[in-house]
Structure 1
Amino acid sequence: MSDSSLQQPPKRIWASLITNLSYLPGLLTLHHSLNHPSPDPGIASTNLNAAQGTKYPFVAFYTSTFPATGLEILKARGIPAKHVQSVTPGITRKYAQDPRFAETWNKLIVFSLEEYDRVVLLDGDILVRRNMDELMEMELDGRDVLDNGQARRAFAAAHACACNPMKKEHYPATWIPANCAYTTQHATPDHAQSTAPAPGSGVGMLNSGVLVVTPSLKIYDEISTGLADLARIEKYDFPDQELLSEVFDGRWVPLPYVYNALKTLRMEGVHDCLWRDSEVKAVHYIFGTKPWHEDR
């Protein structure tokens, strides 16, 4: 598929990065859900905006590993596609327990795409439940501030959940409920629907499933400098999100959980005391088995 339709790109877009066919069912569903969100019926009847499709366009970013058959499917669905460069740091770690992590470095390229004023990058395993166009207008540092190296609100993302409810043995020993940012909100669940845990809460790490970005080459230079520290990034358990959390420590804006509602938060005894189906705007189906892998 040609990128010709993007020669004069819109300035504010939703996007998702795809590198192979395995995530294509998810990306197609994500695109549909942005245009046709499915809020709780009670919400849809009282909040018309929640059920409205987005007014902003969606673009599929793809790397050279994405096959032509996938591009044809995107074209058939009317989804614009833009080729982006791969981000491949020279490390030897293969992430054997979570092979998908080897691809997540590629998401960092979004910070370099200055032809856009705002990109909200969504993982392909996200389902939109409610309109969330407000992310396109939320206050972040402008490019003038970013380019001067004075960023204090460089981008926005939700906190990672550090509870490790699936008891993955290769996760850090510090990833326990007591060290989770969302645990700090258990006493104030109403507040949690619209307010994020404080910056630096818990392990202080973001989840990169939803990234609200004002692209800036200055910011991307900082990322590239971090990528060049091979001894450090070789030790990362969570590639892109660990790098972003370290390089921009204290300089990213936390989002409320509703914008990146990790499906495991809803599990009994995890953060089910916070989760409200009626408030969640985007469900993130984390871990290796996705909804499209399950037998119906």
Structure 2
Amino acid sequence: MKKNNLFSCNGFTLIELLIAMAITGIVSAAIFTAFQSQQKSYIIQDDVTVMQQNLRAGMDMMVREIRMAGYNPQNIGGLGILNVCPRDINNNIDITMTGNGAIQISTDFDDNGVLGGNETISFSICDSPILTPDGNPDLARNSGGGRQMLAENIEALGFAYAYDTDSDGNLDTSPNGNVIWAVDSDGDNDLDINLDTDDDGDIDAADGPGAGNNGIVNGTAIADVAVNDIRAVRIWMLARADRRDNKYFNTRTYVVGHKVITPNDNFRRRLLTTTVKCRNLGL
């Protein structure tokens, strides 16, 4: 006759249960740690992707419009690069050069021989929204209706200008034969210093106060150059991630036009640089 196992004492012992719980806890902890690591990695990559998209979109818009500066099929006069004064985040002219580069251009986009209200355009750094700033700098564009955000989290913006003062069709060069990239250092809208202090053909930290210091590229004084002699524009844009990464410490040195920046913080950044030949300005 078969025994009734209803009241059998066979089963798991306390030790077996404890071992099973310990193994389950270890596996669960490993899974959670892996998930957490992947989640953080995803967030970082998402931030970097957004940062790079903002950077490229902002640069693309600026390049296309600056390249058209001075487009003037009807010969109405007065079109081109209008203003190159450095500006602070409130768009005031900054004679200390602690602010960012800025540019204003005009062009007859619609070929009608009249400079319309939206055909004078400027680019600068702002804190958007203008009326309720959030403390994060952004790239702004103004085509007559006030400054509007073009790209988020653009921490620094720099411009330098190459010119042709003798109208020979060639960019002016330094004693060493390098193209002179100049800026306005005193807010009078004339170019007056060459950013390539050591005349080695590069604008880098060696031209400024040195790596590890936030400051201004020293520059070499030149005779004042009017904006209507400008033929090419060099642009720097420094973008910053939206969130800190506490496992990352940024000690890189970035040269952004006339500024040398070493952040020493937990934000990831990307620097994009390009040169625009203004094909409507006689080059």
State TM-score, norm by structure 2. Answer: 0.25
> Which is richer in helix?
1
Q: Which has the higher contact order (CA 8 A, sep 6+)?
A: 1
> Which is richer in strand?
2
